[in-house]
Amino acid sequence: MYLPPHFTLENRAAQHDLISAHPLGLLISTGAEGLVANPIPFVLDREFGPLGRLRGHLARPNPQWHSLAGEVLVVFSGPDHYISPSYYQTKRETGKVVPTWNYLTLHAYGQASVHEDAQWLGIQIRDLTSQHENARAKASSENVPWAVDDAPESFIAAQMRGIVGIEIELNRLEGKAKLSQNRNEADREGVKAGLAQEPGAAAKVMAGLIGSQNQS
């Protein structure tokens, strides 16, 4: 990934936070027919090894799991938004501005392995479910969390026979937070103010990120 120094997201906790906040990653691998990509939700084990570990699963009929030998790439996408030149103070001073796009993304590289045993898969689906159901419960006392064991054991066993587990030991993380750091302070303030007035939640989220990311 192209990483200008002022956009590089190097802080390990911030990288992991981006994955946790946006766990649907695009799993990219190379097979006999070329590049293959599928979006799947991941669990991040932050304390595993120097960079962490990703766990997920694919549907057994999905052929990608047959071609996961070697290094794979998982792309996680955070908030993004179009940035209009009309936000900038520089536009009013010189007119020498063009549109751009602000975004956060994390590219995670690692060695993938496949798991088909029921014990591994049982842990995986419970961890993945708890990750999201617990977040629902925290958001509102009216959200009753669902657990894997709420379903009949025979039903869950049958469902697990239809999936294959994926484990990726991470060996490289490349984070990018393009949040108008290359603009002067007046332009950045203009971006924040302009986005705050745009319709839609995505603009408000991006406005809140301008100047807030710890990239060290």
Domain layout of the chain by residue ranges: 5-79+102-182
Give 204's contacts (C-beta < 8 A, 6+ positions apart): 195, 196, 198
H or E element in which residue 129 lies: helix 118-139
List residues bridging with 40 in a β-sheet: 25
Q: What number of CA atoms fall less than 13 Å from residue 10's CA on the CB side?
A: 8
Alpha helices (runs of H) in 22-74, residue ranges in sequence order: none
Residue 158: what pLDDT? Answer: 97
Among 2, 1, 3, 15, which Cα is nearest to 213's?
15
| Model confidence band, residue 3 (pLDDT cutoffs 50, 70, 90) | very high
How many Cβ atoms are within 10 Å of 120's Cβ, its own excluded?
A: 16
For residue 198, count CB atoms less than 10 angstroms from its CB and return exposed for 0-12, middle for 13-18, buried for 19 or more: middle
pLDDT, one tens digit per residue, over 130-189 is 999 999 888 888 889 999 999 999 999 999 999 999 999 999 999 999 999 999 999 999
Alpha helices (runs of H) in 31-173, residue ranges in sequence order: 89-93, 118-139, 153-160
Q: What distance in Å separates the CA atoms of residue 65 and residue 170, rounded to the nearest whole number?
A: 17
- Tabulate helix, strand, coil % of the chain (nearest 5): 35, 35, 30
Three-state DSSP class for residue 70:
coil
What is the rounded radius of gyration, in angstroms, for the C-alpha atoms of the chain?
20
pTM over 0.85: yes
| Model confidence band, residue 213 (pLDDT cutoffs 50, 70, 90) | low
CATH dotted code for 5-79+102-182: 2.30.110.10
For residue 87, count CB atoms less than 10 angstroms from its CB and return exposed for 0-12, middle for 13-18, buried for 19 or more: buried
| Model confidence band, residue 18 (pLDDT cutoffs 50, 70, 90) | very high
144 compared with 104, residue with greater pLDDT: 104
Q: What distance in Å separates the CA atoms of residue 185 and residue 193, rounded to the nearest whole number?
A: 12
H or E element in which residue 58 lies: strand 53-59
Residue 7: what pLDDT? Answer: 96
Look up residue 36 and give its DSSP letter.
E
pLDDT, one tens digit per residue, over 22-68 is 999 999 999 888 999 999 999 999 999 999 999 999 999 999 999 89
| Model confidence band, residue 215 (pLDDT cutoffs 50, 70, 90) | very low
